[in-house]
Amino acid sequence: MAKRLAGHIIPLALWTCLCLLFFSSILLGSAHLPSSDFSGQFHAFGLFQAREMLQGRWPLWSPGSYGGAPFAADPQAAAWYPLRWLTILLSAPSGLSYYALELEGLAHIWLCGLFTYLLAYDITKRRMAALFAAVAFGLSGYLTSYPLLQLAVLETITWLPLILYLVRRGVRSVEDDPVHGSTAAPAWLCAAALALALAEFAGHPQTLLYIIYLTLAYYIYLAHKARWPWRRALGYGLAAAGAAAGLSAIGWLPALRYALSSTRDQLTYTQIAAGEPLQNYIQMLFPGTLSKWAAEYGGLSVLLMAVCAWKLRRQGDRSEVLFWVSVGVLSAWLALGDAGVLFQGAYYVLPGFALFRQQERLLGILALALALLAAQGLALWQGSEPQMRRKALVSAALDILAVMAVAAMMLALMPNLADASWPMAILRQFGVLLLMAAGVWAAGRWRWGAAALVILLAGDLYISTLASVDRQAGAPAVYWPTLAWLDTVREVEPSRIDSQYLVYANLGEIYGLEDIVGISPLQLKTWGEMAKLPTLVRWKLLNVHYILAAGPMGGAPLTQVAEIDAGVIPDRPLSGIVYRYDDALPRAWMVYKARQVDDPAAALEALAEPDFDPTFEGVFSGEVPALPEAAAGALGTARTERLSSSELRVNVDTPQAGWLIISEWSYAGWQAYIDGQQATLYTADYGLQAVYLEAGQHTVRLVYRPWDVYAGAAVSLGALAVVGFILARCRVRSKKAREGQ
């Protein structure tokens, strides 16, 4: 065992060195990732989670964006992701630094290469072929372009090669050892279920959907290839799927309820079916000629070896080559979205495909398929006779050369190319093809030729994808400076701001504020509907005290309180004005008149009426307790304190019975306590909370305790216990089997 592991040290050390060199400027702190979703959303989420966890609280609800949202239910928050917890722990006590989150992303790229190495080695049994696949996928144009900035995409797809490896080992354990293999198979498949749960926690449901479909297809292929009886295949498959669903329940159960309450169901087919433009596949040969992103590019040597795998498929495991060719073709086709015709069938037939947009993310599956085909091609090429090698290499190079010539002519006919230097890019790529062909030839003649080919591939990918993600000069500590103008929007009592998207970031989570807008993709449906109300009405109902504006605003009761003279994003000057809204309502207020309407839509219409005043009247849909006739001049007081992100306390003094309306979303999981006794929460003013109070002084406490999180935690812990029992039992049975031999 030790000798077998020692043989992998050099390839993995080389992979590690290539990773370090590829991202050296970021690792050394001399450059940082640019302003994007990475900074504005993912680092913002991480900062909020770190603050909560370091104060001994779990981040269940965030008041920072969209007037508040169920943070733990947002998949992209990665609240249940163990590797995020590790990053926060290592970054403590200063909170989650920008540099720490960058390291987390780069660590996932390294892990992705490691897992791809394991999978490719298990397929080819050749270390350098496996290393070639690790570089081809781990440093591919896909992983190092926008997924690096869309951190949830990167961290979710990282687990795909490991899941496939574990599934493969589980099926092969029975094939390799029919006597004792049935003992090992459940252990491998349980490990695959655990890896699949980690992929769910990483936070990108769309990528997870692709992972599930590919894993299912690979499992069916492997089980059929191993000639498993259908009952065994079905039984093991259902058990592994159940284990994965149970282990990840704490993530998907709250996320499912949040998605059903969000604006996600308002996406149209046109929005969902948009995908990769067909012409962009030219960038598989000529990166950067049609767009900034080089997501399609995986290296000409990878294409060369993938074609060799097809030409030499009869020399090895033909079915494995055919499987990954099929995966590559289908993923590339589906990535086109509606333009590829095939997607329409997937939209209506395959569960989940009707939920997500931006189908070009299927390019990640294409990148993995090409990497594994390239590994098989290199292994088959190295294992072939010299004459067959030469024939396959020349044939593959001529095929790619012909396709490149056609693509170059297509580029020449295209107007308004993104890169005006495309002729030089074409010439460069023809030179790269010759260089890579020479590198492949060296891999079959010299001892270290394969290592040289791997280094050439890494260099090709670095040069070709460098422009995809700008490494901006400067230390990452320049992010989120303390600014005087931001201090002007802070108040003792809870209040909100309307940043009006002046900054592309979740300002609330970053600076501990409460904003009514944000940049995260999920928003509550009630937020989306109330955004249609007249601006002044919406500001009142949502407790907006301050507005950030790019320029002067008029026609409203606004008072200028500060000038915005500095930006929160490095090298991006920002100017504007901070206004105070003089007619703002507090976070909670008493009303003594209730208008009952038939449904929520009618409530929204009532709020938009010109003469509606939320200060004196609440709008309710459905049956509510009747109020006594309000005495003239009846007016209660309500003072609100935020005890934590998920808890508020309101001290109320009311001369008669009435309704306390609280500007917090009426979302399942909130509980109200009046003077220590649990009370009924009602929905008022379309989407806000309300409690009925008798005359007198009261203390109202609001606590967010989502049942779905607790139910999901119970299921996940139960599943973890079952999986742990199965693994322990398999280990005991395996030990007894070895002793009995």
How many other β-carbons are positioned within 10 Å of the β-carbon of residue 534?
13
Predicted pLDDT at 577? 94
Report the half-sphere exposure of 70 (CA within 13 A, side-chain side).
29
Q: What is the DSSP string of 287-314?
A: TTSS-S--TT---HHHHHHHHHHHHTGG
Q: How confident is the model at residue 537 (pLDDT cuts 50, 70, 90)?
A: very high
Residue 570 is predicted with a pLDDT of: 81
**Lowest-confidence pick of 256-265, 445-454, 552-561:** 445-454
- What pLDDT, on a 0 to 100 scale, did the predictor assign at position 189? 93
Distance CA 730, CA 736 (A): 10
Q: What is the pTM of this model?
A: 0.93
Q: Average pLDDT, stretch 467-494? A: 85
What is the structure's pLDDT at 64? 95
Encoding tokens for residue 117? Answer: 């190495």
Q: Lowest-confidence range among 379-383, 471-475, 707-711?
A: 471-475
- List, in order, residues 6 or more apart from 420 with CB less than 8 Å away: none
Strand order in the sheet with 647-654: 637-644, 647-654, 696-704, 670-674, 677-679
Average pLDDT of span 621-635: 74
Q: Note whether 453 and 136 are within 8 A (CB).
A: no
- Say if residue 308 is exposed, middle or buried (CB neighbours under 10 Å; 0-12, 13-18, 19+): buried
Neighbours of 598 (CB within 10 A): 9
For 143-170, what is the mean pLDDT? Answer: 95
- Convert the pLDDT of each residue in 291-320 to its tens digit: 888 889 999 999 999 999 999 998 888 999
Q: With pLDDT > 90 as the criterion, what percentage of the chain qualifies?
A: 66
CB 561 within 8 A of CB 613: no
pLDDT at residue 286 is higher than 60: yes
Mean pLDDT of 164-183: 76
What's the rounded Cα separation, in Å, for the pair 702 and 305?
A: 62
* Predicted confidence band of residue 734 (pLDDT cuts 50, 70, 90): low
Angle at 404 (CA atoms; ends 402, 406), nearest 5 degrees: 75
pLDDT at 476 (0 to 100) = 83
Is residue 134 pLDDT above 90, yes or no? yes
DSSP-derived 3-state class of residue 378: helix
Has residue 736 got a pLDDT over 70? no
Q: Residue 417: is its pLDDT beyond 70?
A: no
| Domains defined for the chain, CATH in brackets | 477-581 (no CATH), 588-705 (2.60.420)
Instruction: Answer yes or no: are the C-beta atoms of 650 and 702 closer than 8 Å.
Output: yes
For residue 405, which of 286, 294, 304, 277 has the smallest C-alpha distance? 286
Confidence band, pLDDT 50/70/90 cuts, at residue 634: low
Percent of the chain beyond pLDDT 70? 95
69-124 confidence digits (pLDDT tens): 999 999 999 999 999 999 999 988 878 999 999 999 999 999 999 999 999 999 99
Burial of 106 (0-12, 13-18, 19+ CB in 10 A): buried
Reported confidence tier of residue 472, pLDDT bands at 50, 70, 90: confident
What would the two tokens of residue 67 be? 């007037």
Model pLDDT for residues 21-65, shown as the tens digit of each residue: 999 999 999 999 988 899 999 999 999 999 999 999 999 999 999
**pLDDT higher than threshold 80 for residue 213:** yes
User: Angle between the 127-138 and 300-311 helix axes, to the nearest 10 degrees?
Assistant: 130
Mean pLDDT for the chain overall: 90
Per residue in 370-410, pLDDT (tens digit) is 999 999 999 998 888 888 888 988 899 999 999 999 988 88
Q: Where would I find the beta strands (DSSP E) of 572-721?
A: 576-581, 588-591, 594-597, 618-621, 637-644, 647-654, 658-665, 670-674, 677-679, 682-684, 688-693, 696-704
CA 332, CA 335: separation in Å to the nearest integer? 5
In tens, the pLDDT along 668-679 reads 999 999 999 999
Checking if the pLDDT of 470 tops 80, the result is no
Distance between first and last Cα of the chain: 19
User: Is the pLDDT at 419 greater than 60, yes or no?
Assistant: no
